[in-house]
Amino acid sequence: MLSPPRRLFHIPSMTTVMYEDVADDVKDNGYVAISHVWGTLNMYAANELEIEDGVDWWLPLSDHSKITKVKNAMKYLKKEYCWFDALCMNQDRQYEIDQEVAFMGDYYAGADYTLVIPTTDPIPSEGYEKWYSMMGDIIEKKREFTSLEKDWIMAQIESGKPMLDLSKEKWFTRVWTFQEGAMAKELVLITSTEVYVFMFEIAHRISYMDSMDSSYTEYLFGVSRFPLLHVFGNRMDFRMYGTDLVNTMIACAGRDCFKQQDRFYGALGMLGYKDFPVDYTIDMEDLNNAIVKHAYSKGDISWLAIGGGTGKGFIQPMYKRFQVVGQIWKEESPNVCGIKIEDDILYINTCSFAKISQCEKFVGDYNKGGGFVGWMCQTFRKWGINDMDIAHCFMSFSDVPDILVEMAMVYLDSYARDAKEGVIKDLHEKFGKEHVDEHLSGLLNIISETKNACYDLVIAKATVNETGDNIALLVCGDPNVGDEVVLTRMYDTYERTLGIVCDSDRRKGICLYKKVSSDESRYVSHKFLL
């Protein structure tokens, strides 16, 4: 087990005692951690909250009933020790808080249970526990619904009452609670009826029911199913794949936090950056650069693939909305890219590949009359790019069968004509239903990845240095005619090459290109302003 927090609250019965040093039995019997949204705070003296010893400071809580809820939940779970940040850290001692922040991930990962105190008043329906038990039996026995169960489900749907309404719950919208939920072993929601909702288990049951009949989950849980499935998915992703700086920052990007710096600090525990100094007085741009340098020192180079051109140098701001190109970047072999960060300079081995000869950014309605797709196809053709190269480019040079590229062009042409309803029909007529059904899912996944990023993309024609051939590129950034395209020896999960668009030592954007074979001697150290 991970080392428990240095300070825990002990609740042997209905009294609360704080221990400065963790008792030995915590290591044997475990503890729980509390996950909550701070909200608008009131200050309480320790004795007002029935805390008898060890606390000589005022305690900030949005609602004093949180203490009672925690006590009752711990009694239900038969646990005596808990970590509660609002109580276990003196909020007047910022230096102590700064020291603890980097260890928060350990505290939640080490807890036997993480108790969620909601901001709303979720009340499970009368049928919730029966549904929970029924789905548990179905999953265990891998069976279908019985006719009686179907009748019961329809009766629940007709009642119009959701099994559990979490549609307005703020806990799902915060930066810190993302970390706490992803790191937790067991996530337990405290409800006002003292029904304890094991959130990972309910999400598993919802997901299983969804695979059997999605209309049931849609009506029984409504939009509440989405946050539950997301928190379950985040936890599974973390458990199976770990995480890197970029993916963690993407997960934090749309979430709320009281202090902007927490967009980074909320990720520390998930990244294992316990030695990264916490400072709430640091400027966000300086913090952005500092955490990138720290990630680089740990071997995480995911930040190289962040697109856009809003930063002052190579490193782009991850505390704002940002676009990433490619997925899970790796060097071709260890240290082959020769990446070094010295002072305000980034060095990376690159091969000079092409020069931008034309580029243009879309201006107009992205969804109207063919939108971006129609304009892109038309502009590339005007520049002399053939259809197959357009399809390869729009599919971001993914290594896919030729038939998929041909299908992509038909799809793009139909979409460009604003014939969205006829897209599948056009594909069926040209390739046959069997071939289309076999490849359609993969095609749509690849195309949707590009369409979702189109707001940040500039289309460009580049001339390859060696051959003089013209190629199509989608650049995430701010390129200009005359800019250079250099290729790295970094490849993502689809074996696509990371290309950097630059003007001498100034990075202008990022692009993808198919993997190319090239003489190793052509890769030389390129200097970029950090």
pLDDT of residue 18: 54
Phi, psi for residue 121 in degrees, rounded to 5: -120, 70
Note whether residue 465 is domain-resident: yes
Specify the 3-state DSSP secondary structure of 514: strand
Kindly state whether residues 108 and 185 are assigned to the same domain. no
Kindly state whether residues 104 and 171 are assigned to the same domain. no
Tally of structural domains, the chain: 3
Kindly state whether residues 68 and 167 are assigned to the same domain. no
Q: Are 181 and 64 contacting, i.e. CB atoms less than 8 angstroms apart? A: no
Kindly state whether residues 106 and 196 are assigned to the same domain. no
Kindly state whether residues 363 and 477 are assigned to the same domain. yes
pLDDT of residue 138: 97
Beta-ladder partners of 115: 34, 188
Residue 184's domain spans which residues?
128-240
Query: Among 210, 240, 270, where does a domain finish?
Result: 240
Strands (E), 407-518: 457-464, 470-477, 484-491, 496-503, 506-514
Q: Are 71 and 79 contacting, i.e. CB atoms less than 8 angstroms apart? A: no
Note whether residue 464 is domain-resident: yes
Note whether residue 443 is domain-resident: yes
C-alpha to C-alpha distance for 499 and 62, rounded to whole angstroms: 50
Kindly state whether residues 111 and 132 are assigned to the same domain. no
Note whether residue 282 is domain-resident: no
SS (H, E, C) 28-53: HHCCEEEEECCCCCEEECHHHHCEEE
Kindly state whether residues 219 and 100 are assigned to the same domain. no
Note whether residue 316 is domain-resident: no
Predicted structure pTM score: 0.83
Helix-strand-coil percent breakdown of the chain, rounded to 5?
A: 45, 20, 35
pLDDT of residue 483: 97
Note whether residue 300 is domain-resident: no
Contacts of 285 (CB under 8 A, 6+ apart): 312, 317
Contacts of 263 (CB under 8 A, 6+ apart): 175, 249, 252, 253, 257, 318, 319
Kindly state whether residues 141 and 176 are assigned to the same domain. yes
Kindly state whether residues 231 and 193 are assigned to the same domain. yes
Kindly state whether residues 459 and 513 are assigned to the same domain. yes
Note whether residue 284 is domain-resident: no
Query: Among 240, 268, 290, where does a domain finish?
Result: 240
pLDDT of residue 420: 66
Query: Among 240, 263, 284, where does a domain finish?
Result: 240
Kindly state whether residues 468 and 490 are assigned to the same domain. yes
Kindly state whether residues 62 and 187 are assigned to the same domain. no
Written as one string, the DSSP assignment of 213-280 is -HHHHHHHHGGGHHHHHHHHHHHHHHHHH---HHHHHHHHHTSB-SSTTHHHHHHHHHHT-TTSPP-T
What is the residue-level pLDDT of the chain in tens, covering all 530 positions? 466 676 777 776 555 555 555 667 788 889 999 999 988 888 888 888 877 766 777 888 888 888 889 989 999 999 988 888 877 777 777 777 777 788 888 889 999 999 999 999 999 999 999 999 999 999 999 999 999 999 999 999 999 888 999 999 999 999 999 999 999 999 999 998 878 999 999 999 999 999 999 999 999 999 999 999 998 888 888 777 677 899 889 888 788 998 999 999 998 888 989 899 999 999 999 999 999 999 999 989 999 999 887 767 899 999 888 888 888 888 988 889 999 998 889 999 999 999 999 999 998 887 777 788 889 989 999 999 998 999 889 888 887 788 888 888 888 888 777 776 777 888 888 888 887 887 777 777 767 777 677 778 899 999 999 999 999 999 999 999 999 999 999 998 888 999 999 999 999 999 999 988 767 888 999 999 98
Q: Are 302 and 246 contacting, i.e. CB atoms less than 8 angstroms apart? A: yes
Single-letter amino acid, residue 225: R
Phi, psi for residue 401 in degrees, rounded to 5: -60, 150
Note whether residue 434 is domain-resident: yes
